[in-house]
Structure 1
Amino acid sequence: MRIIGDYKPNHKPYTISSMKAYFTGFLDLMPDSIGYHIPGNMNGLWFPPVRALKNVYILNGNEIVKPKRVILYSSGIEFHNDDLLLKFWFDKNSIFRIKINSMKNYNIELIMELMPLNTWFSINDTRILEKKHLITISSQMFTDTRIKIRTGNPFILKDGILKIDVKKSSEVEIYNYFNINNKIPVNNYSDINRFSVLKSEGNMPRNFTMAKENLIRLSMIIPGIGYGLTAGQPDFPWYFGIDSMLSINGMLYSGFFNLARGSLNILARFSRSGKIPHEILQSGKIYNDGDLEETALYPYAVFRYIKFSWNLKENLHLIKTAGESFNYIMEHGYSGRGIMEDPGAGSGIDIDTITFTIMSLKELMDFKNCDSEEILNMIDVLNPGEKIDGLKKIINNFWLNEKKTFANRIIDNTPYDHGFWTSILPFYSNLATNNQYRMFADYNGGLSSMKSDSGIMIDRSGNTMPLNTGMFLIAAAAYEDSENALYCLEKLNNSFERFSPGSCPEISNNSHGCFLQAWSGSLYIESIASGIFGIKIENGKPVSSPLKNHGLGHARLEKLRFGSVLYNFNLY
C-alpha cells in the first residue's frame, strides 16, 4: 500500500479507497457524522451506490479505545495502541478487510454500526440478513449490489449494531458479491510515480505527488455509469461535468490518460444533444442536466485529451459529442447559466461561457492539419477562426476600464462586476492583453480586492479556493508576473492537508467544503507543470518556458507523458 503519512489521532476526517469502494472515517476512531447531502450520513463504508456501515470502533468494556498513533495509506489505515493494532484496508479486488491483533487477552469488541443506506436522492429500502459467520446487506433499489460481511469470530447483531468478540485477534472481510472484476483500462496508485515525477527542495515534490494521489483516490468505477473522476469527499462522491473538465489538465499532466478518457466518456454517455450534464449521481440519475459553461468547455477537454494521448481513432464518439456540444452552444446562444450559482445566474451572458467557448475553438483549430475527416468537417462547418475573432470582441465588452477588471456578467449590453473569481478567466486563458493584465494586477486594480491571506477569493464572502488560486498562478506566470505567481504557489502549499491528511481541500480557509477535492489537486498539478515550468504544446510536442525570477532553486519534472514519449524539464 502507498503510505500517505504518520499522524496524531485527532478528530480529522479521512478517506481511503479502492477502485470500487471507499471508506470515510475519523483519525481518532471516535464515531461521528459528516456530510449535508444525506445529513450526517455521508461517512462510512460505501460500495457505490450503497453504504454498508457508518462507523467502526473498538470497545473495551464501555469505553471506546483511542489510538495513540495513526499511519494512513491511500487504500488503508493502521491504528496503533500500546498492545493493540487495528487495520482497515482495501485489497486489489476492492474487498474491505479489517484486522485486529492484540498482544494481550483484552476484553474488547469490534463494533460496527450497520446502517445500510442507498445513495443520495434515492429511496432507502435496504435489508440486513444474518446467517452463521455471514451478514448480507441488500438494496431493493440497487439489486446489483449485495454486500457480504464475513468473520470467523463470534458476533452478536442487535438493532443494527454488530459486536464481534476479538480476544487476541479478529479478521473481517466486507465485499460486494456482484462486484465483477471489470477488465477496463484504469489508472491506479502504481501510476503515481510512473509518470510526472517532481524533484526539488521543499514541500513541492510531496504536495505534487499527493495531488496526483488525490486524483486516484477519487477515481471510481460505479456500476451502470462507468469509470471516472468523482468530485470530492465527503459530499460529492459522484461525477460532475465542470469538475471533470477543469481537472482535465491535471489528469493529463499526471499521465492519467485512462482516467481522463473514462471521465470524458461518462459525460458523453449522459449528454443530451451535446448538452453536458452538471451532476451524475451514484444512482445514475442526472440531478442537473448542465449549465452552459460545461457544454462550452467539453470540446476543449476532448481535444486536450486527444492531443496528449495521440489516441484519435478510438475516440470518435468523444469527437462527435464535442461536435454536438459546439452545435448546442451555437444554436442556443451564450446567454444562460454559467459556473456561478448566484441568485442572478441565467440572467445574462457569463464571462466563463465565452472564455470556455474560445478555449474549445482554439483547441479545435490545432487539429486543422490532422487526417480525421470528422474533425476537418467540424472545422469547415464551424469556421473557428472567425468565431474566435467575434468572441474576443465580446470578451473586450466585459472589460471595465474604471475598475481595472473584467465584469462577470453582461445583462442587456451592460457589464456587471459581482466580485466573482471568474474575472481571472481571460488571464488564465491568455485572452487578455498585457496592458489589461498590468492594470488588473496594479495596486488599485481588480486583483487587489480578490487577494487574501489564503489565496484568490471566490467572491466577496471571503472564502478562497485552490481552484481560483491555481488558475491565477498560471495566469500570472503567462504574463511574467513572478511575484503574484509565487504568492499563489505559497497559498496553494499552505492549503494542503488543511482539513484532512494528504488531501487538497475544496476551500482553503473554511472547513465547510469538501476536505478532499479533485479540481484542487488537479489545479496544483497544472500550476506546477503549466505555471512554474511553463510547459505548453507547440508543433506537436511539449516545450518549456519556465517562470522567471522564481527563487525556487533547481527543480526537475521527469517523465512527463506525451503520447508514447516521456519528457524531462528543468527549472533553474
Structure 2
Amino acid sequence: MKKNTLSSTALLCSLLLFLFPQAHGQSSDENYSKSIMAGISNKGQNKNQPYITAGDRTYIIGTQDGNFPDMGGHVKGEMGGLWLHPIKLLDGFWIKLKDINTENESWLSEASEFVNYPYGNKIKYSPVLNGLETERFQFCPDGQQGMIIQYTIKNTSNQKRTLDLGFFAKTDISPVWFSKEIGIIDHKDKVVWEPGNGFFIGSDDSAHAWTVVWGASIPSTGQLIGTDEIPQKTIGNGVAATSDYRLLIDKNSSITVSFIIAGSAKDKNEAINAYKGLAKNHAKLLEEKKKHYASIIERARIKIPDQSLQEVYNWVKVNTAWLIRDVPGIGRGLGAGFMEYPWWFGCDNTYSLQAVMATGDFDLAKQTLRLLKNESMKKNGNGRIAHEISTNGAVANPGNTQETAQFIMCVEKLFEWTGDMDFIKEMYPVMKMGINWLLKDMDQNKNLFPEGYGIMEVHGLNAELIDVAVYTQQALKATARIAGILNDLQVQNQYLQLSARLAEKINQDFWDESESSYCDFYGNTEQAVSATEGAIRQLGFRKVDSTLNERDKQLLTYYEQLKNKFSAMPATNRGWITNKNWVINTPMETGIAPAEKAIKLLDKIRKEHLGAYGPYLSAVEKRHMMTIATGVQAVAEYMYGRTNESMWYVNKIVQTFNRVLPGSISEMMPDYGCFTQAWTSYGVVLPLVRHVFGIQPDASNKSIIVEPHLPSGWEDISIENLFVGNNIISFTRTKTSRGIEYILTSKEQDWKIILKLKDSDGAKYYLNGMQISLDSSGIKMAGKNNKLLIVHKS
C-alpha cells in the first residue's frame, strides 16, 4: 500500500538544511527553488494545447483554455480527463455563473491565462458578468486517490453580489488502454446524489466496483443528473450531472469554493473514504506537495552560467516526478510520457532512469527497475524485458531485443550510484537470464549479434541491428562486473571475453569505411532487400487519396533504387546502410568506437544528418527529430571529450522548452508528440552531471572521481546536495582574484574523493592551504571539507 510519506531519498533531502547550511542560509541561494516554484505562464498562448495536473496516483489532463475536449489516440478521445490508473474517472468538469439580480449567466469557457507550477496549475479567466474575476487552482495530492479544484471569485464592483455557481461534471468510468485485449470491458455509468453526504457517486453499473465521488466544500442548493448542457460534446459511456451553489460576495471581496473529486478501482467505500480524507486535509496535502517539489529542485541542484539551461535542468526533474505512476497490485515506477504513454516502458526507462540516478532519486530507480523485472517475468519468464506495460498489468509488447540489454546496463549503472548489494543480488539472476536470452534465443546464427527489432521498429528491419549489438556488448560488460562483485568468477571471465569479442566485431563488421559510418544492421543480401521493402511499405501508410507528396515520392524512388541495387548484388553477409537511423551513434554513446572512427562519424552526423534540433530519426527520410536522439548525440560527443559539441546538442533541447506546455519539453522536436516526456532528461542531466561536473560514482567502494569539463566561456559552476550511496557531496569551482578555487564537501568522513584536473604549466596547487604536486591519478581528498586553490603565473 502506498503510504502518504516521502521516499527515503526525499526524507534525506529534508536534512540538507542541517548538513549544508551554506546552501540554505540567508543568501541568494534561498531563492534558488523559488523561481521554479513560482511557475511559468503561457501568457495567453497555446490555449488549445494540453496540460497535466500530476500526482503519482491521479492526474488530470485538459487544455490550457480550461476545457476538456476529447483528446488522444490510444483510447480514442479518452486520454484526457481525470485518471486513477488503471481506470479513468471523469471526462472533465465545467463552471457556469449566474447573477441572481440580473439573471445574466456565463460559462467559464475560455481562460485568459494558464500558469503551470511544479505542484499544480492556475487557470485565470477574464472578467465575466460585469466585474467578476475568477481563478481556478487545482492539484492532485501525491499518495491520494483524487484531486482538489478551487475557484476563487472576486467581486470588483461596489455592490454585494448574489450568484449561482453550477458545477457540471461528466463521468467516464472506464479502463485503461489494452484492457479489451484481456477481457476488461467498459459499461454504461450510473450516477446518484447522496443528500446525507452532499456528494455525487458514480459507478460503472454492476460490472465493476469502479467508483468516482465528487462534491464541494459548501452545501449544494440543487442537483440534476443527466444534463446535456455541458458546453462540449464528449464520447463514451459517461453520465453528466450538475450541482448548484449559492454564493454571496461582498463588494470588493472574494470567495473560494473547493471541489473534491475522489475515486477507487476497488470499491465504493474506499472512494468515499478518499473523498472525506481530501475534504478534511487538502490544505495540508498542498503544503506537503509544495515541500516535496522544492526538495526535488534542491536535490542535485546546479549553478551554471547558462541560466536557460539551468532552468530546463530543474524543470526536467519536475517533469520526471509528474510521470510517476503508483498502481496498487503492480507497483510504482516512472511512466514514459503524457498524454499517450503514461504507463511503463523498458526502453524509455533505461534512458530516463540514468538521469533519475544522477539527480539522486535512487528509490524511484529501484522501484521502476523492480516493476519492469516483475511484470516482464510474469509475461516472459526468461529474462526478456517487456517493451510496454499498461497500468492494468497487461504487456502489449513482450520486448524488442535491445530492451533486455538496456535493462541490464541500467541495473549496473544504478549500482555505481548506490552500492546497494541487496538490489544487485535480487537482479543478478534476471541479468544472467537476459544474457542467455540474447545470446541463445535471439542469436540463431551464433555470431554474437542478436536478431530482432531495436529502438526504431522500422518495418522490415527485423535483423541484426547496430543498437542491439552495442547494448548487448554493454550488457555483457555490466553483468561481468556484477558477477565479479558477487564472486561468480566463471561468469565474470566468460562475459568479459564475450564483451571484448563483441566490441571488436561491432567495430569491424558494422563499420563502413567508404561511408565513414556505422551501418544500420548486419545481415545477408535478402535481409537488405527486405529492409528496403519495409521502408517502401511504411511510406505507403502516408498515402492520402492514393497519392504521395513530393517528398514521399523522392523517398519511394530512393528506396526502390536501393532495392534494385541490393537485389543485383551477390549473396553476402555484411553491414548495410539503408535508413541511416540515429542509433548509428550508439557505439559513440557507449564509448566503444575507436576515436578515429568516432570523430569521423560525429563530424559526419553534424554535417549531413541534422535537422534544426538535432539528428533526424532517419537521415534518409529527414522528417522527424526527438529529444532522445539529440540527447544521445550529446552524450556521444562528450564521450570523446568534445564538450562544446555536446553542449551544442543540449541547447537544441533547451530551445524547445515551453513550446507546448509551460515548464515542459515535447517528445518530438520542437513541439509535438507527448507534451511531457521522461527520457528528455537523459540529454539534459547526463551531459551536465556526468561530463561538465564530471561526477564518476563508485558507491560500493565509497569513492567518487570528479573530473570537470567546462564549456567555453564558463568559469563559476557548482553542484550541491548530490547523492552518492549514503553520502551527499557538493562541488564548486570559482574563478577568484587569487586563482581558481575548487571546494568539495562530503557528508561522510570516510569517503575518498579524487579531483582530476589537467595540469597547467607553471601553476601552483594548494590543498587546504598546503602546497601539493599534481599527478595524473588526481588529487586525493579525505574528510568532509576540502579546498583546492590553483594559482597561475601572473
TM-score (norm 2): 0.67
Q: Is residue 150 of structure 2 the alignment partner of residue 88 of structure 1?
A: no
For residue 527 of structure 1, what is the aligned residue in structure 2?
687
Q: Is residue 402 of structure 2 the alignment partner of residue 402 of structure 1?
A: no
CA separation of 1:121/1:447 partners in 2, compared to 1, >3 Å: closer, same or farther?
A: same
Asked if the contact 2:480–2:491 (Cα under 8 Å) also holds between the matched residues in 1, the reply is no
CA separation of 1:3/1:33 partners in 2, compared to 1, >3 Å: closer, same or farther?
A: farther
**What is the DSSP-based 3-state SS (H/G/I as helix, E as strand, rest coil) of the residue aligned with 1:115?**
strand
The superposition leaves residues 318-357 of structure 1 with CA deviations (integer Å, 9 ceiling, x where unpaired) of 22211211111121220111111111131x2011111111
2:189 corresponds, among 117, 124, 127, to 127
1:287 corresponds, among 396, 399, 404, to 396
1:198 CA displacement? 0.9
User: 2:465 corresponds to which letter in structure 1?
Assistant: D
Unaligned 5+ runs, structure 2: 1-35, 98-104, 128-132, 156-161, 180-184, 228-238, 248-255, 265-269, 275-288, 444-449, 525-572, 735-794
1:53 CA displacement? 1.3
For residue 345 of structure 1, what is the aligned residue in structure 2?
461
1:378 CA displacement? 4.1
Q: Is residue 502 of structure 2 the alignment partner of residue 391 of structure 1?
A: yes
The superposition leaves residues 35-58 of structure 1 with CA deviations (integer Å, 9 ceiling, x where unpaired) of 111222201100011111123232
C-alpha distance in 1 between matches for 2:599 and 2:120: 48
C-alpha distance in 2 between matches for 1:225 and 1:549: 44
Q: Is residue 617 of structure 2 the alignment partner of residue 458 of structure 1?
A: yes
For residue 660 of structure 2, what is the aligned residue in structure 1?
499
The superposition leaves residues 6-34 of structure 1 with CA deviations (integer Å, 9 ceiling, x where unpaired) of 33243321112112111111121133222
Q: Is residue 145 of structure 2 the alignment partner of residue 97 of structure 1?
A: no
**What is the DSSP-based 3-state SS (H/G/I as helix, E as strand, rest coil) of the residue aligned with 1:244?**
helix
User: 1:430 corresponds to which letter in structure 2?
Assistant: G
**What is the DSSP-based 3-state SS (H/G/I as helix, E as strand, rest coil) of the residue aligned with 2:399?**
coil
User: 2:590 corresponds to which letter in structure 1?
Assistant: S
CA separation of 1:570/1:355 partners in 2, compared to 1, >3 Å: closer, same or farther?
A: farther
Unaligned 5+ runs, structure 1: none
1:405 CA displacement? 1.3
1:487 CA displacement? 1.7
User: 1:524 corresponds to which letter in structure 2?
Assistant: V
Asked if the contact 1:58–1:108 (Cα under 8 Å) also holds between the matched residues in 2, the reply is yes
> What does 1:31-42 align with in structure 2 at a 5 Å threshold?
31-42=68-79
> What does 1:90-489 align with in structure 2 at a 5 Å threshold?
90-94=140-144, 95-104=146-155, 105-122=162-179, 123-125=185-187, 127-132=189-194, 133-139=198-204, 143=208, 145-151=210-216, 152-153=219-220, 154-159=222-227, 160-168=239-247, 170-177=257-264, 178=270, 189=293, 191-201=295-305, 202-271=307-376, 272-332=381-441, 333=443, 334-346=450-462, 348-367=463-482, 370=485, 372-373=486-487, 376=489, 378-379=491-492, 383-396=494-507, 397-412=509-524, 413-417=573-577, 418-442=579-603, 445-459=604-618, 460-489=621-650
**Count of aligned pairs between the two proteins:** 560
Asked if the contact 2:523–2:574 (Cα under 8 Å) also holds between the matched residues in 1, the reply is yes
Q: Is residue 41 of structure 2 the alignment partner of residue 6 of structure 1?
A: yes
**What is the DSSP-based 3-state SS (H/G/I as helix, E as strand, rest coil) of the residue aligned with 1:270?**
helix
C-alpha distance in 2 between matches for 1:419 and 1:301: 26
The superposition leaves residues 201-254 of structure 1 with CA deviations (integer Å, 9 ceiling, x where unpaired) of 311222111111111110010122110000100000101111111212111001
CA separation of 1:191/1:259 partners in 2, compared to 1, >3 Å: closer, same or farther?
A: farther
For residue 44 of structure 1, what is the aligned residue in structure 2?
81
C-alpha distance in 2 between matches for 1:64 and 1:441: 53
CA separation of 1:448/1:54 partners in 2, compared to 1, >3 Å: closer, same or farther?
A: same
C-alpha distance in 2 between matches for 1:365 and 1:144: 48
CA separation of 1:318/1:141 partners in 2, compared to 1, >3 Å: closer, same or farther?
A: farther
C-alpha distance in 1 between matches for 2:718 and 2:66: 40
For residue 28 of structure 1, what is the aligned residue in structure 2?
65
User: Once structures 1 and 2 are overlaid, which stretch shifts more, 40-49 or 484-493?
Assistant: 484-493
C-alpha distance in 1 between matches for 2:591 and 2:611: 23
Identity across matched positions, percent? 21
User: 2:593 corresponds to which letter in structure 1?
Assistant: A
Asked if the contact 1:473–1:531 (Cα under 8 Å) also holds between the matched residues in 2, the reply is no
Asked if the contact 2:591–2:636 (Cα under 8 Å) also holds between the matched residues in 1, the reply is yes
1:422 CA displacement? 0.3
Asked if the contact 2:172–2:189 (Cα under 8 Å) also holds between the matched residues in 1, the reply is no
**What is the DSSP-based 3-state SS (H/G/I as helix, E as strand, rest coil) of the residue aligned with 2:645?**
helix
C-alpha distance in 2 between matches for 1:562 and 1:340: 33
Asked if the contact 1:466–1:523 (Cα under 8 Å) also holds between the matched residues in 2, the reply is yes
For residue 21 of structure 2, what is the aligned residue in structure 1?
none
1:523 CA displacement? 3.0
User: Once structures 1 and 2 are overlaid, which stretch shifts more, 52-61 or 433-442?
Assistant: 52-61
User: 1:228 corresponds to which letter in structure 2?
Assistant: G
**What is the DSSP-based 3-state SS (H/G/I as helix, E as strand, rest coil) of the residue aligned with 1:116?**
strand
CA separation of 1:263/1:514 partners in 2, compared to 1, >3 Å: closer, same or farther?
A: same
For residue 769 of structure 2, what is the aligned residue in structure 1?
none
C-alpha distance in 2 between matches for 1:485 and 1:366: 28
**What is the DSSP-based 3-state SS (H/G/I as helix, E as strand, rest coil) of the residue aligned with 1:96?**
strand
**What is the DSSP-based 3-state SS (H/G/I as helix, E as strand, rest coil) of the residue aligned with 2:212?**
strand
User: Once structures 1 and 2 are overlaid, which stretch shifts more, 407-416 or 254-263?
Assistant: 407-416
**What is the DSSP-based 3-state SS (H/G/I as helix, E as strand, rest coil) of the residue aligned with 2:384?**
coil
C-alpha distance in 1 between matches for 2:192 and 2:205: 17
Asked if the contact 1:56–1:111 (Cα under 8 Å) also holds between the matched residues in 2, the reply is yes
User: Once structures 1 and 2 are overlaid, which stretch shifts more, 473-482 or 265-274?
Assistant: 473-482
For residue 516 of structure 1, what is the aligned residue in structure 2?
676
C-alpha distance in 2 between matches for 1:233 and 1:40: 14
1:315 CA displacement? 4.8
User: Once structures 1 and 2 are overlaid, which stretch shifts more, 146-155 or 411-420?
Assistant: 146-155
**What is the DSSP-based 3-state SS (H/G/I as helix, E as strand, rest coil) of the residue aligned with 2:203?**
strand
C-alpha distance in 2 between matches for 1:128 and 1:564: 52
C-alpha distance in 2 between matches for 1:298 and 1:221: 20
Asked if the contact 1:403–1:446 (Cα under 8 Å) also holds between the matched residues in 2, the reply is no
1:265 CA displacement? 0.7
CA separation of 1:211/1:161 partners in 2, compared to 1, >3 Å: closer, same or farther?
A: same
> What does 1:34-73 align with in structure 2 at a 5 Å threshold?
34-60=71-97, 61=105, 63-73=107-117
1:110 CA displacement? 2.6
C-alpha distance in 1 between matches for 2:725 and 2:318: 21
| Structure having the higher Rg | 2
C-alpha distance in 2 between matches for 1:16 and 1:428: 34
- RMSD between superposed Cα atoms in Å: 2.6
CA separation of 1:285/1:139 partners in 2, compared to 1, >3 Å: closer, same or farther?
A: farther
User: Once structures 1 and 2 are overlaid, which stretch shifts more, 59-68 or 320-329?
Assistant: 59-68
TM-score (norm 1): 0.91
Asked if the contact 2:360–2:722 (Cα under 8 Å) also holds between the matched residues in 1, the reply is yes
1:2 CA displacement? 4.7
C-alpha distance in 2 between matches for 1:469 and 1:502: 19
**What is the DSSP-based 3-state SS (H/G/I as helix, E as strand, rest coil) of the residue aligned with 2:200?**
strand
1:368 CA displacement? 5.7
**What is the DSSP-based 3-state SS (H/G/I as helix, E as strand, rest coil) of the residue aligned with 2:665?**
coil
Taking CA–CA contacts closer than 8 Å with sequence separation of 6 or more, which of the two structures ends up with the larger relative contact order?
A: 1
**What is the DSSP-based 3-state SS (H/G/I as helix, E as strand, rest coil) of the residue aligned with 1:55?**
strand
**What is the DSSP-based 3-state SS (H/G/I as helix, E as strand, rest coil) of the residue aligned with 1:88?**
strand
Greater than 6 Å deviation, 4+ residue runs: none
